[in-house]
Chains A and B, each alone.
Chain A
Amino acid sequence: MASKIGVYVCHCGMNIAGTVDVPAVIEAAKAMPRVALSKEYKFACSDPGQEMIKQDIKAHGLDAIVVAACSPLMHEKTFRRAVEAAGLNPFLLSIANIREQGSWVTEDPAKATEKAKAIVAGAVFRAARQEPLEMRSVEIHRAALVVGGGIAGIQAALDLADSGIPTTLVERQPSIGGYMAMFDKTFPTLDCSACILTPKMTAVGQHENIKLMAYSEVESVSGFVGNFQVRIRRKAAYVDHTKCNGCGMCMEKCPYKAPSEFDQGLSQRRAIYVPFAQAVPNKPVIDPATCVRFKGKKCKTCIKFCEPGAIDFEQKDSVEEVTVGSIVVATGFQPMDAKKIPQLAYGRHPEVYTALEFERLNNAAGPTQGKILTKDGRVPQSVAILNCTGSRDTNYHEYCSRVCCMYALKYAHLIKEKLHEATVFDFYIDMRCFGKGYEEFYRRLQDEGVRFIRGKAAQVFGGKEYKAIANAAGFIDGLEDHQLVVQAEDSLLGKLIRVPVDMVVLTPAVEARADADEVGRKFLVSRGADGFFLEQHPKLAPVSTTNDGVYIAGACQGPKDIPDSVAQGSAAAGKALGLIARREVEVEGTTASVVDELCSGCKCCLTLCAYNAISFDADRHRSSINEVLCKGCGTCVASCPSSAIKAKHFTDEQIFAEIEGLMSM
């Protein structure tokens, strides 16, 4: 037990000293057990402040240090380094948080001082019981995994591979490209999406350092920072891609069709297909749900037309294991199902489109070759774009989806460009044009004659029944059968408006993928209240997660546009690279361990560990903890009925001592 404790109470300028009577705390600390010296300092974290502590440790032979200052989350590392530089084990430091949880939250100086004394006493009592610990060093495997082949994942994989890191890119779909591959143009520059994306996709496909595993999914992840073992399931494509030359004859001849996922069901694809022409890899897969051979029929069309003989109906799923040092999760988002908002008539009226459907409708490679046409082939005379479909709406998603205002402007522009005569209405709550060149784009669209209506669309009506009602009630004159009516409150005019249009485009919220929960558990990445993956710090660690070695990029972390997704892809790759470049990583020694002499083999701990760090030796009838896997949560420690598991740096004795100290004042 430490017997010569040094206590340092920081003024933090006036942040602490303005409320807490620092000299009184110093005096109180002097009377605490095992305190050898007690000093105050203006800014303890400054170089001279740290120097003073170092000198005192050497001069007075201090064997534990208490710094009463800001939160340990702020400066524990700083003071640990200082203590270590003076030859003391860094775990012999204890921080008393008298700022964030003291001076800043307490109005009455007397009460703040009293609380500060108690907090210091807690730290002093605890410090006496603290034990030296070693940091553990773990070697880092020089390889990376990127999960998700959308633009964020593509960028991350390319950055890693370009730096010479062997990188595995896993994509669930038959091709990489993600949502960006579906877009026609990108806002606000109106670049052709395919023109800027396709070269990157090709680069991925050809990169010597990238192992592309499309049509594959991560099954499980084990291990820890620097040494993740990842099992990846490659789904059976029923086509031997090593033989396939991508000629496309099979797709041309296949007689069975299904709605194209890529075209949002607006066109058909074959049972053997590549999702789109520029797909990477550009090798087909057979969809067993559509192919009649899986229903017992004897169709041989694809086999007959495949010159290299690549069709293989015997193919099975295969599982590969890769070992990587770091992981970038870029699993993206999903658009909200617009049917969840029944009043917007999606799925009930054919001329109500989702944004992605409209993207395909508008795309030169899409089902109408880029012609904006209604389902019955007419050119719409008027189109309404409804912003905030399920975003900024406490019934659905409270958050802003960040991209809809901008792509709504893009649609408005494209409609105006293609159909000069058409009227475009944009119903919005607020126009959020925060990015580079975005506000300028908005201004340009205002000049292009788009009718912006400040009011959230409340309801979309349509059909003959509504026409009858509307005409009878005199709502709208001359409504045609095929027309839709968008009803909203124009909040600038303060009145209800009903706008007849030929086509309605919804902007469904960007939401966390339905399986984000499961994926998060695989990678031990937690999720926020909005369902998206949670970054380690919203400002200072935006692509890191609380699982060391796992980074997040793109819209899996929250709604994001292409520039932000790319930036995050690069950022995550940079973090992953930085980790790999260190070759080895220090891991905190604050794990749990089993005291063998006390373990009776009761097995109460076995089911508790979320990291499978506890194993049971049946021969010896003892539990043991793999400290490399242990994250140090202490859940097993709290449960062990024999108190045979010790949480290093958080032992019962240390916490007991801290409670005794806190209650001693």
Chain B
Amino acid sequence: MSFEPRIVGILCNWCSYTGADLAGTSRMKYAPNVRVVRVMCSGRMDPTLVLKAFQEGADGVLLAGCHIGDCHYISGNLKTLRRIPLLKRVLVELGIEPERLRLEWVSASEGARYQGVVNEFVEQIRSLGPLDLEARRLPATASAS
């Protein structure tokens, strides 16, 4: 059986989630591998959420927010623009291909773009193969805090 990637998508409410909805109302078909979490702004996209998705078995994480300059909350997406490159640098050191994390800007009117991004990302993850996180095979984390 071929590898079907499981991807967590975290989308901002105002642009990307609405854009994804538009792909739906326009009946654009795309790969079913992305499971979406809605947050209000890409500024909420805490790196911890990305790690959580990987920890839970995601093979890839797609983050999408309003285009730079169009943030519903003015500048939330700028914070994400700054965080994700650093997170990617850390992921490399943690043995996770940075390509497994993707940050895209998708506006509310870009249903077709969302479709394209999802299809492309799913294929990229498919070619990278499963992440098969080792932490999932290690003993459960007892309270460490």
Interface residues of A (CB under 8 A from B): 71-74, 97, 99-102, 104-108, 111-112, 114-115, 118-119, 122, 521, 524, 526-529, 534, 538, 546, 590, 608, 610-611, 631-635, 637-639, 647, 650, 652, 655-656, 658-660, 662-663
- B32 engages A634 (CB within 8 Å): no
B17: interface (CB < 8 Å): yes
B82 to chain A, nearest CB (A): 10
Report the bound CA distance from A122 to B29 in whole Å: 22
Name B20-69 residues within 8 Å CB distance of A. 20-21, 23-25, 27-30, 32, 35-41, 43-49, 52-53, 56-58, 66-67, 69
Could you say which of A105, A534, A650 contacts B44, with CB atoms under 8 Å apart?
Answer: A650
- B32 engages A610 (CB within 8 Å): no
Name B56-105 residues within 8 Å CB distance of A. 56-58, 66-67, 69-76, 79, 83
Q: A105-B30, A534-B70, A633-B43 are in contact. Are A608 and B79 (CB under 8 A)?
A: yes
Report the bound CA distance from A308 to B127 in whole Å: 84
- A650 engages B39 (CB within 8 Å): yes
Could you say which of B21, B43, B53, B66 contacts A73, with CB atoms under 8 Å apart?
Answer: B21
Q: Give the contact-size bracket for chain B.
A: 35 or more
Chain A residues contacting B25 (CB-CB under 8 Å) are: 100, 104
Report the bound CA distance from A660 to B36 in whole Å: 12
Report the bound CA distance from A122 to B56 in whole Å: 12
Report the bound CA distance from A414 to B61 in whole Å: 62
Interface residues of B (CB under 8 A from A): 6, 8, 13-14, 17-18, 20-21, 23-25, 27-30, 32, 35-41, 43-49, 52-53, 56-58, 66-67, 69-76, 79, 83, 107, 109, 115
Could you say which of B47, B66, B69, B74 contacts A524, with CB atoms under 8 Å apart?
Answer: B74
- A663 engages B56 (CB within 8 Å): yes
Chain A residues contacting B109 (CB-CB under 8 Å) are: 538
Chain A residues contacting B115 (CB-CB under 8 Å) are: 105
Report the bound CA distance from A100 to B32 in whole Å: 12
Q: A100-B25, A634-B43, A658-B37 are in contact. Are A112 and B32 (CB under 8 A)?
A: yes
Chain B residues contacting A650 (CB-CB under 8 Å) are: 39-40, 44
A270 to chain B, nearest CB (A): 42
- A526 engages B72 (CB within 8 Å): yes
B115 to chain A, nearest CB (A): 8
Chain A residues contacting B37 (CB-CB under 8 Å) are: 122, 655, 658-659, 662
B65 to chain A, nearest CB (A): 10
- B44 engages A633 (CB within 8 Å): yes
Chain B residues contacting A73 (CB-CB under 8 Å) are: 13, 17-18, 21
- B43 engages A638 (CB within 8 Å): yes
A-B residue pairs in contact (CB < 8 Å), sample of 7: A100-B20, A100-B21, A104-B27, A105-B32, A108-B32, A638-B46, A656-B49
Chain A residues contacting B40 (CB-CB under 8 Å) are: 590, 632-634, 647, 650
- A107 engages B29 (CB within 8 Å): yes
Starting from the known contacts A534-B70, A633-B41, 19 additional A-B residue pairs (CB-CB under 8 Å) come to A73-B18, A101-B24, A102-B24, A105-B23, A105-B27, A106-B30, A108-B32, A111-B32, A115-B32, A115-B35, A529-B67, A529-B70, A529-B107, A611-B73, A632-B40, A634-B39, A638-B44, A638-B79, A656-B52
- B32 engages A659 (CB within 8 Å): no
Report the bound CA distance from A631 to B30 in whole Å: 33
- B24 engages A105 (CB within 8 Å): yes
B38 to chain A, nearest CB (A): 7
Report the bound CA distance from A538 to B18 in whole Å: 13
Q: A527-B69, A659-B56 are in contact. Are A71 and B32 (CB under 8 A)?
A: no
Chain A residues contacting B41 (CB-CB under 8 Å) are: 633-635
Report the bound CA distance from A99 to B20 in whole Å: 11
Report the bound CA distance from A16 to B20 in whole Å: 17
- Chain A's closest residue to B28 (CB) is A105
- B73 engages A633 (CB within 8 Å): yes
B15 to chain A, nearest CB (A): 10
Chain B residues contacting A105 (CB-CB under 8 Å) are: 23-24, 27-30, 32, 115
Chain B residues contacting A526 (CB-CB under 8 Å) are: 66, 70-72, 74
B93 to chain A, nearest CB (A): 20
Could you say which of A122, A590, A655 contacts B35, with CB atoms under 8 Å apart?
Answer: A122
- B73 engages A659 (CB within 8 Å): no
- Chain B's closest residue to A652 (CB) is B48
Chain B residues contacting A633 (CB-CB under 8 Å) are: 40-41, 43-44, 72-73, 76
Q: Which 4 interchain pairs have the tightest Cβ spacing?
A: A100-B24, A635-B43, A634-B44, A633-B73
Q: Which of A101, A521, A590, A633 has the most CB of B within 10 A?
A: A633
Report the bound CA distance from A658 to B44 in whole Å: 15
- B24 engages A662 (CB within 8 Å): no
Q: Which of B14, B30, B73 has the most CB of A within 10 A?
A: B73
- A659 engages B8 (CB within 8 Å): yes
- B73 engages A635 (CB within 8 Å): yes
Chain A residues contacting B39 (CB-CB under 8 Å) are: 634, 650, 655
- B6 engages A631 (CB within 8 Å): no
Q: Which of B13, B48, B74, B83 has the most CB of A within 10 A?
A: B74
- Chain B's closest residue to A649 (CB) is B40
Chain A residues contacting B72 (CB-CB under 8 Å) are: 526, 546, 633
- B79 engages A119 (CB within 8 Å): no
Report the bound CA distance from A100 to B107 in whole Å: 16
Report the bound CA distance from A635 to B52 in whole Å: 18
Chain B residues contacting A104 (CB-CB under 8 Å) are: 24-25, 27
- A637 engages B46 (CB within 8 Å): yes
- B48 engages A637 (CB within 8 Å): no
A433 to chain B, nearest CB (A): 26
Q: A633-B44, A647-B44 are in contact. Are A663 and B29 (CB under 8 A)?
A: no
A609 to chain B, nearest CB (A): 9
A248 to chain B, nearest CB (A): 46
- A71 engages B24 (CB within 8 Å): yes
Chain B residues contacting A631 (CB-CB under 8 Å) are: 73
Chain A residues contacting B69 (CB-CB under 8 Å) are: 527
Q: A111-B32, A638-B44 are in contact. Are A663 and B75 (CB under 8 A)?
A: no
Q: Which of A71, A72, A118, A538 has the most CB of B within 10 A?
A: A71
- B70 engages A663 (CB within 8 Å): no
- A635 engages B76 (CB within 8 Å): yes
- B79 engages A118 (CB within 8 Å): no
- A546 engages B14 (CB within 8 Å): yes
Report the bound CA distance from A524 to B73 in whole Å: 8
- A527 engages B46 (CB within 8 Å): no
Q: Which of A106, A527, A638, A650 has the most CB of B within 10 A?
A: A638
- Chain B's closest residue to A656 (CB) is B52
Could you say which of A114, A524, A632, A658 contacts B32, with CB atoms under 8 Å apart?
Answer: A114
Report the bound CA distance from A528 to B109 in whole Å: 10
B42 to chain A, nearest CB (A): 9
Could you say which of A118, A546, A638 contacts B45, with CB atoms under 8 Å apart?
Answer: A638
Chain A residues contacting B70 (CB-CB under 8 Å) are: 526-529, 534
B144 to chain A, nearest CB (A): 15
B73 to chain A, nearest CB (A): 4
- A119 engages B30 (CB within 8 Å): no
- A655 engages B6 (CB within 8 Å): no
- Chain A's closest residue to B30 (CB) is A105
- B36 engages A663 (CB within 8 Å): no
- Chain A's closest residue to B49 (CB) is A655
Report the bound CA distance from A658 to B9 in whole Å: 12
- Chain B's closest residue to A637 (CB) is B44
